[in-house]
Amino acid sequence: MSEDSPPPTQDPPPAGDKPEETDKKLIAGLLAILIGWAGAHKFYLGYIKGRKPCF
């Protein structure tokens, strides 16, 4: 290699969900299984417009 060559670049991260989004979906899934009747999973994901809990 010569000194004029640019340094090697890193590969871009793989396409898909970010780790934070994956964790958020996992928690939402658990909420859906445990207390899905109350809509807690949708509230956790931010789907709160026009919805009321089914208590």
pTM for the structure as a whole: 0.53
State pLDDT tens for residues 2-55.
Answer: 567 676 677 766 666 577 778 889 999 999 999 988 888 888 888 877 656 555
Q: Which of 41, 34, 1, 11 is nearest to 53 (CA)?
A: 41
The C-alpha R_g of the chain, in whole angstroms, comes to: 21
pLDDT at residue 38 in the model = 87
pLDDT at residue 55 in the model = 54
Label residue 15 left, alpha or beta by phi (over 0 means left) and psi (-120 to 50 means alpha).
beta
Please report, for the chain, the start and end positions of each structural domain, with discontinuous segments joined by +: 18-48
